[in-house]
Amino acid sequence: MAAAVPAAGLPALSGRASAAPAAGALPGGGDLGPNVLVFGPATPNIQGTLDEIFKRQESAQFGEGRFALLFKPGTYRGLNAQIGFYTSIAGLGLSSGDTTFHGDVTVDAGWFNGNATQNFWRSAENLTLHPVNGTNRWAVAQAAPFRRMHIKGGLNLAPDGYGWASGGYIADSRIDGTVGPYSQQQWYTRDSSVGGWTNAVWNMVFSGVEGAPAQSFPDPPYTTLDTTPVSREKPFLYLDGADYKVFLPEKRTNARGTTWGSGTPRGESLPLGQFYVAKPGVDAATLNAALAQGLNLLLTPGIYHLDRAVEVRRPNTVVLGLGYPTLVPDNGATAMKVADVDGVRLAGFLIDAGPVNSATLLEVGPEGASADHAANPTTVQDVFIRIGGAGPGKATTSIVINSNHTLIDHTWVWRADHGDGVGWETNRADYGVRVNGDDVLATGLFVEHFNKHDVEWRGERGRTVFFQNEKAYDAPNQAAIQNGDIKGYAAYKIADGVTTHEGWGLGSYCYYNVDPTIRQDHGFQAPAKPGVQLHHLLVVSLGGKGQYEHVINSIGAPTSGTSTVPSTVVSYP
């Protein structure tokens, strides 16, 4: 795949360049390239530019275009920013109130006949919206984060006509009015404030959300935690006068509500000059040289082919993507490896498996990592994995977390079920996420369609708040998924030796459309130990295409028939 074609005639960013580097050194800062579009209140024809980008990206699910739409602080009137594939929209203020739209940021599903279940890979951040009709529409599926947004009105998470939808994720946001998920199958909201919440389908999870509905799973299926155990918001680009900086929010424990509700968010800023601004076409050797030089990485929109791993070895390194930059490991390489160091922040990019099998795609910490990172963990936020769909791809294990205390805050790890290069062996990928480190926390874990276990948790004291899964659609027959004497591989397996683990709001669905007679023993597998506790579990057979015998281990009623009604377990054990 080639790099995205620059948008002819569209405004590009030219930020202040940093001082000249030493001889032979790579420069920090500089221009962000043609696919980062920066607007000010006086920019002419903003709506026309937004419409042109949307026209390119509306149905380009596996296309090569990548765009970041950035708005300087100020007030904008009469805009409807429709957001398509691989498009990020964000304000450039330090707080969401610095950039205000009297208008909308819209995701709908007209391109797919009103079905929003494939509205992936797009985002909105750091804006205040006054929706034109009082309610903003954000009808998305996976990998479409909504962060640090303030809606002066309501938020509708369903497409026009209330067709199918399968999202989604909100964090550090305030919705003054009511959030209406309507047809959304599942949703996770973290550290936010809502004026109300109406309706639920299968699995609605809240942690640290002011105004969240009371816990009531399974009817209605609300899982509500008063606080989030540990959180640290995603880094973001902003303007300080005429200078671009990256803000790094501080870690919070037992968090509740937004980081910005009582003034300027707490954290630290890094000038753009401390970042190597990467452009599509740069190779892994150059990225590694920049990291070795002490620079952070800012990945601008586009597709990056890597012949070896990007090696993040320095504590507190930031790797931040704009506009869904996509890393493609060639010849079986691992895309990125992180050392067992404090405070690395990975955020805002997509790893797309290459046609030669990679043993892993992302490794956080080497095998046997043992350092304590409780005070300053590594965070993996809006980092998405894809195997197949844009073409053949293979990876044995997508993400391996070896470092203790790592925070996984919103990921979608997806073995493709549609697109190009899709088939039981064509895009073979046995395991989605494997956690070996201790004290790892996942908030918003979406992992789907792997040939074996989607999540395999081996570390102690792991915690997951919200898990969404579908088993692989394309298993050819019962024998293909047989796991010893167990029918099917559990979507979420806690290893037999683990003594302490806890999870809240976990769902697994099956849609075995190649062989609808397939039976899956359970969606979840866990050792029977007092310290292993799971709350609010469900399994669903979609239209009767395959069935679950139980929810977890041998506990929970089987799914049956074609009614698509969940089987639930309120508490395990």
Residue of 119, 185, 115, 118 lying closest to 542 (CA atoms): 185
Give every CB contact of residue 487 below 8 A, 6+ residues apart in sequence: 478, 481, 519, 520, 521, 549
Residue of 302, 298, 238, 285 lying closest to 264 (CA atoms): 238
Helices and strands of the chain, counted as H and E runs: 2, 47
Residue of 160, 205, 164 lying closest to 183 (CA atoms): 164
Torsion of CA 4, 235, 318, 321, to 10 degrees: -10
- Tokens representing residue 75 in the block: 């007030």
- Is 425 a catalytic site residue? no
Residue tagged 């870690």 (tokens): 251
d(CA 531, CA 51): 53
Residues in the chain, total:
573
| Cα 96 → chain centroid | 20
Task: Tell me the pairing of strands 455-457 and 431-435.
Answer: parallel
d(CA 35, CA 185): 33
d(CA 206, CA 222): 8
d(CA 272, CA 426): 41
CB-based contact 84:54 (threshold 8 Å): yes
Which of 233, 448, 456, 470 is an active site residue?
Answer: 470
CB-based contact 109:139 (threshold 8 Å): yes
DSSP labels, 464-494? EEEEEEE--TT--SGGGGEETTEES--SEEE
d(CA 515, CA 493): 24
DSSP labels, 81-103? EE--TTEEEEE-SSSGGGEEEEE
421: left (phi over 0), alpha (psi -120 to 50) or beta: left
Q: Kindly report the backbone phi and psi dihedral angles of residue 389, in degrees, each rounded to the nearest multiple of 5, phi listed first.
A: 105, -55
Torsion of CA 421, 426, 430, 431, to 10 degrees: -10
d(CA 380, CA 347): 6
| SS3 label, residue 116 | coil
d(CA 439, CA 401): 11
Over the range 104-121, which residues count as b (16 or more CB within 10 Å of their CB) and which as e?
A: bbbbbbebbebbbbbbbb
| SS3 label, residue 383 | strand
DSSP 17: B
Active site residues: 470
